């Protein structure tokens, strides 16, 4: 792997300046790896292309970093925060470093957080075993070994099987998805780091929302959907004009105020947790890159 930015601080500064100017131009869109000649994602604009081979040859950066930069913005609902996060992440990447290690380190950070999230399971639970196996593979790469593809497939298959056995939308299923996403080598997979980032944010958000739903007695998504379907069917039977639009949310607010309030509370909670977990994940990314500037401080 080439040294990041081809060991050129000037190249990095030129990329950061181009990124900032592009974002200010109004041509930026929150769409991963996109470029149509005028508008595009940050990575598309830096490359003026959608060819990630050029990302590696022009900038000396791994393909997973390109997809991660665009993923960071795509997983937050506010463009302003997404663009600011992209700049912060690009600026945090050190010059003249072999970033192969950073891919493993980033994934290990998310897996170690997942280990805490799954602490409610017995230590010998198959999902926790799969988690440890995935972490071991990344540790092996950090130590200079090259686990064979068959070994990655074996660990990934075990994680998928256990996740499939879990109750749908349960913490086991959600965090099992994180383990699945992480069971690829960042040396060969361009999507493993951004997929792990996204899966972890979603799993953390959903687990936090589920806890609050139980603690505060809020309606679940399934319950709300069922009530809205009931309202729609009831109103449909009353209609003379079958093409007339049925404003189910307005009817919910009028006839079921308690349930409507619960739904709105749920949506606010979900939005709050989405932002919180995204900020937590961004902090992990920035922390790993900042430690690459001063490797003696790394606590991995």
Residue 294 pLDDT: 64
Residues of 89-112 as b/e, b for ≥16 C-beta within 10 angstroms? Answer: bbebbbbebebbbbbbbbbbbbbe
For the record, the structure tokens of 28 come out as 């930026």
Answer whether residue 119 shows pLDDT above 60: yes
pTM of the model: 0.87
pLDDT above 80 for 242:
no
- Report how far residue 78's alpha carbon sits from residue 3's, in angstroms, rounded to the nearest whole number: 33
Residue 90 C-beta-side C-alpha neighbours within 13 Å = 28
- The model's pLDDT over 146-165, given as tens digits with 9 standing for 90+, comes to 999 999 999 999 999 999 99
Q: How far apart are CA 134 and CA 140, in angstroms?
A: 10
When mean pLDDT is compared across 12-16, 39-43, 196-200, 224-228, the lowest value belongs to: 224-228
């Amino acid at each position: 792997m080439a040294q990041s930015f081809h060991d050129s601080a000037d190249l990095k500064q030129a990329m950061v300046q181009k990124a900032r100017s592009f974002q200010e131009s109004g041509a930026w869109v929150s769409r991963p790896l996109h470029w149509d000649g005028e508008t595009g994602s940050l990575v598309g604009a830096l490359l003026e292309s959608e060819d990630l081979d050029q990302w590696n040859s022009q900038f000396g950066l791994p393909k997973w970093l390109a997809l991660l930069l665009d993923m960071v913005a795509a997983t937050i609902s506010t463009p302003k925060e997404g663009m600011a996060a992209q700049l912060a992440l690009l600026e945090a990447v050190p010059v003249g470093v072999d970033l192969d290690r950073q891919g493993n380190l980033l994934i290990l950070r998310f897996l170690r957080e997942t280990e805490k999230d799954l602490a409610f399971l017995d230590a010998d639970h198959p999902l926790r075993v799969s988690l440890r196996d995935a972490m071991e593979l990344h540790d092996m790469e950090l130590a200079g070994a090259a686990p064979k593809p068959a070994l990655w497939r074996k660990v990934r298959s075990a994680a998928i099987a256990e996740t499939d056995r879990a109750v749908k939308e349960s913490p086991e299923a959600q965090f099992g998805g994180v383990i699945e996403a992480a069971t690829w080598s960042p040396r060969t997979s361009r999507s493993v780091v951004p997929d792990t980032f996204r899966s972890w944010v979603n799993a953390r958000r959903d687990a936090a929302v589920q806890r609050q739903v139980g603690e505060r007695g809020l309606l679940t998504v399934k319950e709300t959907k069922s009530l809205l379907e009931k309202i729609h069917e009831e109103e449909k039977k009353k209609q003379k004009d079958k093409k007339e639009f049925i404003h189910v949310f307005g009817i919910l607010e009028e006839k079921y105020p308690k349930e409507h309030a619960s739904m709105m509370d749920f949506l606010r909670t979900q939005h709050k947790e989405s932002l919180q977990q995204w900020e937590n994940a961004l902090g992990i990314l920035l922390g790993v890159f900042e430690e690459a500037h001063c490797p003696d401080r790394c606590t991995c």
